[in-house]
Amino acid sequence: MAATGRGRSPYGKRPGHLQRICGILVALALAWAGLMTAASAAPGRPLQLVALGDSLTAGYNLPERQAFPAVLEAALRERGRAVTVSNAGVSGDTATGGLARLDWSVPDGTDGVILELGANDMLRGTEPEITRRALEAIISRLKARNIPVLLAGMYASRNLGPDYVKQFDAIYPDLAATYGLVFYPFFLDGVAGEARMTLPDGLHPSAEGVRRIVDRILPSVETFLTRLAR
């Protein structure tokens, strides 16, 4: 091997220069490792929920921020849940109406649906079997799209007679058991019949009533979210 010049390395560079190159390479490697770690720790996209319902979901006579979907989303985010809750409530809607608009109310990419329909059927005295068939069709079509459902139940007004009450009240637990759904038995629990929880019409929840609904349904929703994450 030919002799090298005095004070020079065999590679034709000063030793200090080689050390600087090595230092730069180490720094770049560390930086890349940091970026990869940060990327792996970044949260995924928020779960997309749709609240499919009637005026109780839509927020009748309330600002949008005080409607059930917005209040529920805020409560979940306070608990560290990355969730969006879209408002697909239509005032006056029946279970049959919800079925008719299902495909455009629940878009592709939806991770789960909170189904709250049937109150208007009951108020109109619709035959319970009609309500049952419509709700079952909604659940079946969502199941075919691999979209899980949390079913929010409703009770019939007791002045409709024992036969109607028995048939209507059985719809929701029966469907929940048949399809293995997360089930919240009565959407208006703690609100129905409470004057300060409802608007002057005595039917629709006030802002305070919506907050109570959210407080009470929240454990069921969190169970639902846990199921979605599996």
Does 204 participate in catalysis according to the annotation?
A: yes
Does 9 participate in catalysis according to the annotation?
A: no
Catalytic member of 40, 108, 163, 201:
201
The answer to whether 203 and 163 are in contact (CB under 8 A) is no
Catalytic member of 55, 86, 105, 206:
55
Q: Please name the residue ranges forming H helices in the chain.
A: 15-41, 55-58, 68-78, 95-100, 102-105, 119-123, 128-144, 162-179, 207-228
**Whole-angstrom distance, CA of residue 65 vs CA of residue 63:** 5
Residue type for position 131: T
- Supply angle C-alpha 91, 174, 142, rounded to 5: 55
Catalytic member of 54, 121, 169, 204:
204
Q: In 56-133, where do the E strands start and end? A: 83-89, 112-116
**Whole-angstrom distance, CA of residue 57 vs CA of residue 11:** 75
Q: In Å, what is the CA distance from 213 to each residue of 49, 111, 147, 154, 190?
A: 17, 22, 23, 13, 7
3-state DSSP helix/strand/coil percent for the chain, to nearest 5?
Answer: 55, 10, 35
Does 17 participate in catalysis according to the annotation?
A: no
Enumerate the active-site residues: 55, 201, 204
